[in-house]
Structure 1
């Protein structure tokens, strides 16, 4: 990755709302009202006289689970970069979440690798521990309360075009709109954002209209989640350890658990997650769940000692995937995609919410640069690819290394050397706060992964590992 890409990434991270800007569109339409779609709607609210979000799910229940987000009952963490961006575009979101019982948890000492805590990085980062339904509801209420943003309940069924540009969205309000029969219509739109998630139908629509489909890249990453919630009698301020993320290398004995996480969330609850790769499916029952947690850092046993709230919620994801829109030669103008519709990763890396926020940053930057709206949004997709590549390097790179290790796969020398370097840096986070700082800046999506390729950083990590006791695995 070139230095210019690193600079572009960091420019996106530090960008803010543009202030008083000219209106570019009469009507903008966002397909999907999840967090990526809501953030896109917020950006477009400064650029369009009217923003319509077409969402098939009933969102009237403020914090209820939605069929369109099957993973919303699993652990979600808002990384520092995501917090920054939500606060820039929707100020006060963090405070509102805390007022509703969410927790702003300091990250110092909360990450444990093979039973050993990371060395403090001195940065004072905090992670927002919040249930996904609550965070989404807070954003939805704030953004849809803007005078020019509205929600149309229904299913988007296709696009209309004029002069090689999107000119409208076909939709079916039908049962989704609460009406007795089908209610098909067309919403005239000057700009459209696809935020339909992993199952986005945009590629099929493009192919059916004679446009290029974005090439899709897939990486096997079979992950199995088991998540349970437990009563939390103590206030967060009274907890000795307010949360933890436990990571295990493939060689480390961990009852089939590759990753475990525990967080204090709203409703005076603990939410606890166990994750296994491949055939490993830990924690399917409460008994097994609690037994495994006794072998993890003490906070896990503390969290699971309380009364169980609800059932164990499982989630399986077979692969990570991303779509390359930059390679599409024939593509309609006034159309972009964001969020999981572009790239979806192993959720354990916590990149989904923050990536959605950064995709909104890409959209804002693209519109601020005076684009030619009569041609495909190639500059937007180039900006977005910087964010997607960064997230993919962290999550897909880690998953590929784990799967190759599990299967004994031979890898090219250059890949083996890159992985060795990352292993050195990860191991050094247990003993050297400077290395932890650099590593966490990338993990938290504050800096581009290419910054970890600094030879001086690797030398420091190797030296730290040479003087420290070896870590199991």
Structure 2
């Protein structure tokens, strides 16, 4: 395995994390992006979703703190809002729970997050940022079995000169604008059809200036969507430099307005007094900005019989998740750790089909995130799934998750609600909730016994023991990597 140069297509979160881990193995790492990299925290044209909220989950915070020491402190130093000790009010159709942040954490904009990571990368001697350059083509060996480089078109000069760059490894981290499927098809490779989830998602976000003396009294507020109601879901939080943001979202084409008066009216119509009180007296900054996403997709490159050596793919270019659940950056961070471990292992113990092994390991982790996305989004009328195989355990998981949310909220059980959150943020395996002992205990909980009767009927349908029925119904996720609860201890 040669390690002279690695090229990363795309300088977003996934590309920056890939550059960080590869810088420990390759003599030179080059990030190529069609946008200009701003010197200050600013959104780029290539990230149309950047104005919408972005957050770190416990898993992504754990990984980023390892890759970039003192990362949270760096964010706070540059204006991010420290959240340790702050309260988050979490509303769902069954009530509200309040949770206090125990860890050293912060809230911020996507622009600040990306700028801070890019700052670490700029200080890495063997990483070069090549902005305002667009990758137009892959270069290959004569038999097209290996990717040897890329063709680049300059975007700085008026004549847009083209040049080539060779590499030992090329990673496509260009997100939803990826051309890898097109490039592979042009080279004669048969690419499997992706799974797709038609969601027709709409976001609208507005920012507000916080008057002096108000910030300390403001908490984070999140209102979960209700599949049985037409009302928008929403969230309010402080981001940075005395600025707060409010986002509304909905599925199946029920877009929140981007017209200021209508946007504010939709917030008031939520009927959430805590949210209305928080926004009272804040000064709007500009108009609400919308973001629309018609569908999600999950590629299956790991199933290809032939894959060119020297090429990998990660981030949204591999699998695009519903941004509502905040899993995208977490999955990119997990993939970066997989990439790091696989390159290290390949250098120490070289094996054939290295790239397909990496793609399979990434896919094993994608499986959990995709399954959780599909199970949740298909609760909404009008959302449609397209795939070669049906989603495992769909109805059971939907009913069970709903019971857990209802019971933990009505009983203010922070242990179960916390477990539910850690699973949905990819910190723990779904099997932590879907093992037979937990399923039996959770469905027995509650005064009415309705959940227990539902479980008994479900078991009787197949005349199989609960352990066996669950193993046949719910994915095992055994190939995925997860964190451990002892890694969740409050950090300084």
Shorter-chain TM-score range: 0.7 to 0.9
SS in 2 for 1:124: coil
Residue of 87, 92, 99 corresponding to 1:113? 92
Decide whether aligned partners of structure 1 residues 323 and 236 sit closer, same or farther in structure 2, where only a CA change above 3 A counts.
farther
Q: What's the CA shift for 1:238?
A: 1.8
Instruction: Give the whole-Å Cα distance in 2 for the aligned partners of 1:394 and 1:414.
Output: 11
Decide whether aligned partners of structure 1 residues 215 and 395 sit closer, same or farther in structure 2, where only a CA change above 3 A counts.
same
Decide whether aligned partners of structure 1 residues 305 and 469 sit closer, same or farther in structure 2, where only a CA change above 3 A counts.
farther
Instruction: Give the whole-Å Cα distance in 1 for the aligned partners of 2:221 and 2:422.
Output: 18
Q: In the alignment, which residue of structure 2 is the partner of 1:364?
A: 340
Runs of 4+ off more than 6 Å: 404-407, 467-470
* 2:243 is the counterpart of 1:262: no
SS in 2 for 1:402: coil
Q: In the alignment, which residue of structure 2 is the partner of 1:299?
A: 275
* 2:147 is the counterpart of 1:166: yes
Q: What's the CA shift for 1:49?
A: 0.3
Q: In the alignment, which residue of structure 1 is the partner of 2:302?
A: 326
* 2:253 is the counterpart of 1:279: yes
Q: What's the CA shift for 1:24?
A: 4.9
Q: What's the CA shift for 1:305?
A: 3.4
Q: In the alignment, which residue of structure 1 is the partner of 2:228?
A: 251
Instruction: Say whether the 8 Å CA contact 1:28–1:192 is kept in structure 2.
Output: yes
Instruction: Say whether the 8 Å CA contact 1:155–1:172 is kept in structure 2.
Output: yes
Q: In the alignment, which residue of structure 2 is the partner of 1:422?
A: 401
* 2:180 is the counterpart of 1:220: no
Instruction: Give the whole-Å Cα distance in 2 for the aligned partners of 1:105 and 1:457.
Output: 32
Instruction: Say whether the 8 Å CA contact 2:199–2:384 is kept in structure 1.
Output: no
SS in 1 for 2:293: strand
Instruction: Say whether the 8 Å CA contact 1:264–1:271 is kept in structure 2.
Output: yes
Q: In the alignment, which residue of structure 1 is the partner of 2:447?
A: 466
Instruction: Say whether the 8 Å CA contact 1:54–1:151 is kept in structure 2.
Output: yes
Decide whether aligned partners of structure 1 residues 346 and 28 sit closer, same or farther in structure 2, where only a CA change above 3 A counts.
same
Q: What's the CA shift for 1:136?
A: 0.3
Give CA-to-partner distance per residue, 1:62-83, whole Å, 9 cap, x none: 2222111001001111111111
* 2:381 is the counterpart of 1:400: no
After TM superposition, list the pairs within 5 Å mapping 1:19-418 onto structure 2: 24-105=2-83, 109-114=88-93, 116-118=95-97, 124=102, 128-153=106-131, 154-162=133-141, 164-173=145-154, 176=155, 178-233=156-211, 238-239=216-217, 241-252=218-229, 256-257=231-232, 259-294=233-268, 295-303=271-279, 305-370=281-346, 372=350, 375-403=353-381, 415-418=394-397
Give CA-to-partner distance per residue, 1:308-361, whole Å, 9 cap, x none: 112110011011111111111111112111110011111110011111111101
Instruction: Give the whole-Å Cα distance in 2 for the aligned partners of 1:451 and 1:380.
Output: 26
* 2:428 is the counterpart of 1:447: yes
Q: In the alignment, which residue of structure 2 is the partner of 1:457?
A: 438
Give CA-to-partner distance per residue, 1:97-150, whole Å, 9 cap, x none: 111221243585432112622375x88357642100111011112112211000
Decide whether aligned partners of structure 1 residues 458 and 62 sit closer, same or farther in structure 2, where only a CA change above 3 A counts.
same
Instruction: Give the whole-Å Cα distance in 2 for the aligned partners of 1:412 and 1:131.
Output: 34
Instruction: Give the whole-Å Cα distance in 1 for the aligned partners of 2:391 and 2:130.
Output: 51
Q: What's the CA shift for 1:402?
A: 2.1
Name which of structure 1's ranges 91-100 and 395-404 shifts more when overlaid on structure 2: 395-404
Instruction: Give the TM-score of the pair, scaled to structure 1.
Output: 0.86
Instruction: Give the whole-Å Cα distance in 1 for the aligned partners of 2:407 and 2:102.
Output: 19
Decide whether aligned partners of structure 1 residues 406 and 195 sit closer, same or farther in structure 2, where only a CA change above 3 A counts.
closer
Decide whether aligned partners of structure 1 residues 127 and 346 sit closer, same or farther in structure 2, where only a CA change above 3 A counts.
farther
Structure showing greater relative contact order (alpha-carbon pairs closer than 8 Å, 6 or more residues apart): 1
Decide whether aligned partners of structure 1 residues 341 and 414 sit closer, same or farther in structure 2, where only a CA change above 3 A counts.
closer
Q: What's the CA shift for 1:363?
A: 0.3
Give CA-to-partner distance per residue, 1:212-258, whole Å, 9 cap, x none: 3243111111111110001112568722x521211132224x6x31x
Instruction: Say whether the 8 Å CA contact 2:135–2:152 is kept in structure 1.
Output: yes
Give CA-to-partner distance per residue, 1:400-446, whole Å, 9 cap, x none: 12236999xxx999532232111111212312222112201112221
Name which of structure 1's ranges 420-429 and 196-205 shifts more when overlaid on structure 2: 420-429
Instruction: Give the whole-Å Cα distance in 2 for the aligned partners of 1:104 and 1:454.
Output: 36
Q: In the alignment, which residue of structure 2 is the partner of 1:19?
A: none
Decide whether aligned partners of structure 1 residues 468 and 238 sit closer, same or farther in structure 2, where only a CA change above 3 A counts.
farther
**Which runs of no fewer than 5 residues in structure 1 stay unpaired?**
1-22
